[in-house]
Amino acid sequence: MTAHEHTHHDHDQPNLTKNQALVFGALDGAEGPLTAYAILDQLREDGFRAPLQVYRALDKLVEFGMVHRLESLNAFVACRHPGCVSHESAAFAICEDCGSVQEFSPEEAMRVLKAWADAKGFTASKTTVELRGRCKDCAAA
Amino acid sequence: MTAHEHTHHDHDQPNLTKNQALVFGALDGAEGPLTAYAILDQLREDGFRAPLQVYRALDKLVEFGMVHRLESLNAFVACRHPGCVSHESAAFAICEDCGSVQEFSPEEAMRVLKAWADAKGFTASKTTVELRGRCKDCAAA
DNA sequence: TGGAGACATGTTATAGCGTTACATCTCTTT
DNA sequence: AAAGAGATGTAACGCTATAACATGTCTCCA
């Protein structure tokens, strides 16, 4: 079972290893983001025993572009790029009331950031954009 | 000694408490970002003994807009807003080679993000924008 | 004047997130 | 069969952050 043949952020679904498939399944089935330890607890019945098993799988899944890390939460979500846009331009709106996360692709904003980077000679390998606040539903409640 | 009378992200320099002043001094004198524990170690000779002393001061300094938290590093930097722009629109370019951090204010990008949020009914209380990559100097080397 | 309230501080313990180091297993290739 | 590469298992540890509780230090005002 191999999980290679990948350049970087490929759009093809790679052949996942057993652990990668289990971790992705946990994230894909979850409503919101999960921490590594939450995933570990969920996968104990599948034989998971140590954090490293989760982190190793997460590293690969992020590399494949199938999972995003939310820096401001120290948590992970399965990728739901609306319209199947580039994984490079992902941004997240995180509701601090209900914990929901919306993924979106602010391509115009990303262009502006890239323009700044180009002008400064900065080569960005990853761009993190996260909005923390209150979602529509929670604001209405 | 008081450190109040603040609405939110005031531009006035508040009267800092002893601990706040020490922590801010450490960050302001540092070349790059510092973790809370690095600050703690640096302030042991000033009587600091526990992480909480640092975190309490950091919370206030962030609230005052004098310090930014870098989510992707779990570290903190003194604010160096070029041109004294709003603390609300701060972004950071973090070099993974040399550890340097450039703060900038991509107001156009922030406007685009705010427009998305408005359209979705999302009220953002904080916006995190961090570029990870390679700075000009390190690319040249 | 002395007590109440508000805020800052001190201290210990603990919870949560992530990695190092090392051993083993399973395939593929030759 | 031997060698190499990648995946996995396990234990121990280190870094990041907070909970809970105790104490100190002011100001205000009855």
Flag whether pLDDT at A30 surpasses 50: yes
Strand partners, B92: B103, B130
Q: Are B47 and B30 in contact (CB under 8 A)?
A: no
Q: How far is the CA of B76 from the C1' of D16 (A)?
A: 13
Nearest protein residue to nucleotide D11 (CA to C1' distance) is A50
Classified by CATH at the fold level, domain B15-79 comes out as Arc Repressor Mutant, subunit A (1.10.10)
| Confidence category of residue B75, pLDDT binned at 50, 70, 90 | very high
C-alpha separations of A45 from A40, A61, A112, B63, B77 in Å: 10, 21, 46, 43, 42
Q: Is B131 on the interface with A (CB under 8 A)?
A: yes
Interatomic CA distance for residues B71 and A109, integer angstroms: 19
Q: What is the pLDDT of residue A141?
A: 84
| Confidence category of residue B12, pLDDT binned at 50, 70, 90 | low
Task: Find the range with the poorest average confidence among A18-32, A64-78, B86-100.
Answer: B86-100
| Phi, psi angles (nearest 5°) of residue A130 | -135, 125
Q: Are A53 and A17 in contact (CB under 8 A)?
A: no
Mean predicted lDDT score pLDDT of chain A:
90
Flag whether pLDDT at B10 surpasses 80: no
Q: What is the pLDDT of residue A85?
A: 60
Flag whether pLDDT at A1 surpasses 50: no
With a CB cutoff of 8 Å and minimum separation 6, the contacts of A86 are: A9, A105
Flag whether pLDDT at A138 surpasses 60: yes
Q: Is B99 on the interface with A (CB under 8 A)?
A: no
Domain ranges of chain B: 15-79, 80-141
Average pLDDT, integer, range A106-129: 97
| Confidence category of residue A122, pLDDT binned at 50, 70, 90 | very high
Average pLDDT, integer, range A117-122: 98
With a CB cutoff of 8 Å and minimum separation 6, the contacts of B141 are: none
Interatomic CA distance for residues A89 and A110, integer angstroms: 6
Q: Are A112 and A134 in contact (CB under 8 A)?
A: no
Flag whether pLDDT at B107 surpasses 70: yes
Interatomic CA distance for residues A101 and A87, integer angstroms: 16
Residue range A80-141, CATH number: 3.30.1490.190
Domain A13-79, CATH among 2.60.120.10, 1.10.3720.10, 1.10.10.10, 3.40.710.10: 1.10.10.10
| Confidence category of residue A7, pLDDT binned at 50, 70, 90 | very low
Six-digit token pair at B98? 């040399």
Cα Rg, chain A, nearest whole Å: 16
| Phi, psi angles (nearest 5°) of residue B103 | -95, 140
Q: What is the pLDDT of residue A133?
A: 97
Q: What is the pLDDT of residue B105?
A: 94
Q: How far is the CA of B18 from the C1' of C9 (A)?
A: 10
Q: What is the pLDDT of residue A11?
A: 44
Helix ranges restricted to H, B4-135: 18-29, 36-42, 51-63, 107-120
Nearest chain A Cα distance for residue B58, angstroms: 16
Name residue, tokens 């951090």.
Answer: B101
Q: Return the percentage of chain A with pLDDT > 90, whole number.
A: 82
Estimate to the nearest angstrom the gap between the alpha carbon of A48 and the chain centroid.
21
Residues facing strand C, Cβ within 7 A: A 35-38, 50-52, 55, 74-75; B 1-4, 17-20, 47-53, 56-57, 60
| Confidence category of residue A88, pLDDT binned at 50, 70, 90 | confident
pLDDT digits (tens, 9 = 90+) for B27-66: 999 999 999 999 999 999 999 999 999 999 999 999 999 9
Helix ranges restricted to H, chain A: 18-29, 36-42, 51-64, 107-120, 136-140
Q: If you ran DSSP here, which 8-state letter would residue A88 be given?
A: G
| Confidence category of residue A82, pLDDT binned at 50, 70, 90 | low
Average pLDDT, integer, range B6-12: 41
| Pairing status of strand A101-104 against strand A75-78 | unpaired
pLDDT digits (tens, 9 = 90+) for A39-59: 999 999 999 999 999 999 999
Q: Is B113 on the interface with A (CB under 8 A)?
A: yes
Q: What is the pLDDT of residue B7?
A: 35
